[in-house]
């Protein structure tokens, strides 16, 4: 934390003339990415690879379903907060359906019957309410974010059944499994990123900002035509 | 997430149409299913054979991309400043980069479930977005969008958005920074270096 503060202080003095206006803290963010990469290479990546080897795809899917099912309540709440009661109702139904007939969420039956999974969080809700994204941020261990999304994160956490699970030992185990499982899902994506990007930091930032914008508008952001020339 | 890559790989697949003008949505569907069939039927392709995969993309997908237009959009405002020779090299290197990048994930979409939705296209339309959804259990379907424009040689794809992330927009930012710091020649050089390093790593891990 102290190290982070120092980097932050140092980057505060950096000239921003040449930088991207959406990313005034680029110097610090690049430092955090380097830290994340090191942590990933040392811990998370080997764990994720081992997880892929040990667990067959079918079981990994069940683990993924179990965790994503728990998200549906908070997703529904955010749909409600965004004035989308029909989507919220669908999320609620999904949760009821999958938690019971779907064996505690292990099987995503709801999708089979046409109750589509949504993707919402408080950051998106704030965006819908008109809150701007603010400077781009690279969070330690958590990856790309914006000031708005980071500010919303603690509330997302309070609503997260995994992070609020007790006893603490259970919470820690569930959190660790979920972290590794998510990293495993991203193995191919991070390799593709590695291959596609000339500057991985920039590619990651652009991808995140575009992705968030698309999510805020549920996949239908107002279209900006690239300039013709 | 695997299907995200699959989408990326498939994104190259907006091609392989007969000579007459096929509607863009039918074209995309045709090509995607065609390529999927090739992969399903060929053990080497499923196993990720690099030479064969690149061949498949070159034959089936690339002809249906507006490669010049795509490169121009990715280079953005700097495109006008480039000489014809620089433009030619930019198109070549960009094409190689995209080909290399997607070749390594193409095998992943052998078993993807695609959802094509019929579109309303007016005869006067010259620029449309064709959406395809990749459906999977437990997560939100992944939306892949092909931006297509009508040309004398049929509909051509000039940008792909995967889960809302535009290829052209991503590269425009990257390219813009490089051109600003090192000029157009610097960008050509950066692309060449990138392609060479990909050749090395992929040749090693290709099989």
Average pLDDT over residues B156-183: 95
Q: How far apart are CA A44 and CA A181, in angstroms?
A: 10
Asked: is B2-204 a CATH 3.30.70.890 domain? The reply is no
- Return the pLDDT at B26: 95
Residue B144, pLDDT above cutoff 60: yes
Tokens (6 digits) for A153: 């994160």
Mutate to test the interface with B, among A120, A195, A206, A228 (most CBs of B within 10 A): A195
User: Are residues A122 and A151 in contact, defined by beta-carbon separation less than 8 angstroms?
Assistant: no
Closest chain B residue by Cα to residue A189: B5
Mapped to the 3 state alphabet, what secondary structure does A63-128 carry? HHHHHHHHHHHHHHHHHHHCCCHHHHHHHHHHHHHHHHCCCCCCCCHHHHCCCCCCCCCHHHHHHH
Tokens (6 digits) for A224: 């900006």
User: Are residues B193 and B200 in contact, defined by beta-carbon separation less than 8 angstroms?
Assistant: no
- pTM for this structure? 0.88
Q: How far apart are CA A129 and CA B149, in angstroms?
A: 35
Q: How far apart are CA A91 and CA A79, in angstroms?
A: 9
- Return the pLDDT at A186: 92
Residue B117, pLDDT above cutoff 90: no
Cite the DSSP H helix spans in chain B.
Answer: 2-10, 24-41, 43-46, 50-56, 67-75, 84-103, 167-205
DSSP B82: S
CB contact under 8 A, A64 and B140: no
Average pLDDT over chain B, rounded to an integer: 88
Residue A177, pLDDT above cutoff 70: yes
Residues of chain A whose beta carbon is less than 8 angstroms from a beta carbon of chain B are 18, 20, 61, 64-65, 68-69, 107-108, 111, 116-119, 185-189, 191-192, 195-199, 202-203, 206-207, 210-211, 213-215, 219, 221, 226-227, 229
Q: At which residue do the structure tokens 């907060």 appear? A: A81
End-to-end CA distance of chain B: 22
Q: How far apart are CA A145 and CA A156, in angstroms?
A: 14
Average pLDDT over residues A101-109: 96
DSSP B141: P
Residue B14, pLDDT above cutoff 50: no
User: Are residues B69 and B149 in contact, defined by beta-carbon separation less than 8 angstroms?
Assistant: yes
Is A78 within a domain? yes
Residue B7, pLDDT above cutoff 60: no
Looking only at Cα atoms, what is the longest distance across chain B? 50
Mutate to test the interface with A, among B137, B143, B172 (most CBs of A within 10 A): B137
Q: How far apart are CA A226 and CA A51, in angstroms?
A: 41
Other beta carbons within 10 Å of A12: 12
pLDDT tier at A188 (50, 70, 90 boundaries)? confident
Tokens (6 digits) for A34: 């380097």
Average pLDDT over residues A216-222: 92
Cβ neighbors of B50 (< 8 A, separation 6 or more) are B103, B104, B202, B203, B206, B207
Residue A3, pLDDT above cutoff 80: no
SS3 A20: coil
Domain tally, chain A: 1
Q: How far apart are CA B10 and CA A225, in angstroms?
A: 23
ipTM over 0.90: no
User: Are residues A95 and A69 in contact, defined by beta-carbon separation less than 8 angstroms?
Assistant: yes
- Return the pLDDT at A225: 58
- Sketch the domain layout of chain B as residue ranges: 2-204
Is A32 within a domain? yes
DSSP A134: -
Cite the DSSP H helix spans in chain A.
Answer: 2-12, 26-39, 45-54, 57-81, 85-100, 109-112, 122-128, 147-158, 168-185, 187-196, 200-216
- Return the pLDDT at A226: 53
The parent domain of residue A210 ranges over 2-8+24-216
Question: What's the gap between Cα A39 and its chain centre?
Answer: 18
Is A222 within a domain? no
SS3 A141: coil
Q: How far apart are CA B68 and CA B166, in angstroms?
A: 17
Shortest alpha-carbon distance between residue B121 and chain A (Å): 18
Q: How far apart are CA A193 and CA A131, in angstroms?
A: 29
Average pLDDT over residues A46-69: 96
Average pLDDT over residues B123-136: 93
The alpha carbons of chain A give a radius of gyration, in whole angstroms, of: 19
Q: How far apart are CA B105 and CA A197, in angstroms?
A: 15
């Amino acid at each position: 934390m102290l190290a982070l503060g120092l980097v932050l202080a140092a980057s505060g003095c950096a000239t921003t003339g040449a930088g991207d206006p959406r990313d005034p803290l680029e110097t610090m963010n690049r430092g955090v990415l380097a830290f994340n990469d090191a942590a990933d290479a040392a811990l998370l990546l080997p764990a994720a690879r081992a997880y892929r080897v040990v667990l067959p795809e079918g079981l990994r899917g069940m683990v993924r379903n179990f965790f994503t099912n728990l998200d549906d309540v908070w997703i529904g709440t955010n749909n409600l907060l965004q004035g989308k009661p029909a989507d919220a109702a669908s999320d609620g139904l999904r949760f009821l359906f999958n938690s019971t007939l779907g064996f505690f969420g292990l099987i995503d039956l709801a999708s089979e019957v046409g109750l589509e999974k949504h993707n919402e969080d408080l950051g998106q809700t704030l965006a819908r309410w008109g809150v701007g994204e603010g400077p781009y941020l690279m969070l330690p261990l958590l990856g790309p974010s914006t000031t708005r999304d980071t500010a919303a994160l603690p509330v997302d956490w309070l609503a997260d059944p995994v992070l609020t699970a007790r006893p603490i030992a259970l919470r820690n185990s569930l959190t660790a499994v979920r972290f590794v499982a998510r990293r495993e899902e991203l193995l191919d994506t991070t390799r593709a990123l590695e291959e596609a990007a000339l500057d991985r930091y920039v590619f990651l930032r652009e991808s995140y900002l575009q992705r968030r914008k698309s999510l805020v508008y549920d996949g239908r952001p107002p279209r900006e035509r690239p300039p013709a020339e | 997430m695997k299907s995200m890559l699959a989408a990326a790989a498939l994104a190259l697949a907006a091609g392989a149409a007969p000579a007459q003008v096929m509607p863009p949505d039918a074209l995309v569907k045709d090509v995607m299913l065609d390529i999927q069939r090739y992969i399903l039927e060929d053990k080497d392709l499923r196993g990720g054979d690099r030479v064969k995969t690149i061949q498949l993309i070159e034959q089936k997908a690339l002809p249906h991309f507006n490669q010049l237009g795509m490169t121009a959009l990715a280079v953005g405002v700097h495109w006008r400043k480039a000489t014809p020779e620089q433009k030619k090299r930019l198109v070549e290197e960009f094409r190689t980069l995209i080909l290399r990048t997607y070749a390594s994930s193409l095998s992943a979409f052998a078993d993807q479930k695609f959802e094509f939705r019929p579109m309303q296209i007016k005869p006067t339309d010259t620029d449309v977005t064709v959406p395809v959804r990749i459906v999977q259990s437990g997560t939100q379907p992944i939306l892949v969008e092909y931006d297509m424009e009508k040309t004398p040689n049929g509909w051509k794809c000039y940008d792909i958005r995967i889960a809302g992330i535009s290829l052209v927009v991503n590269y425009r930012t990257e390219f813009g920074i490089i051109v600003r710091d090192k000029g157009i020649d610097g960008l050509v050089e950066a692309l060449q270096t990138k392609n060479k390093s990909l050749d090395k790593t992929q040749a090693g891990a290709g099989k």
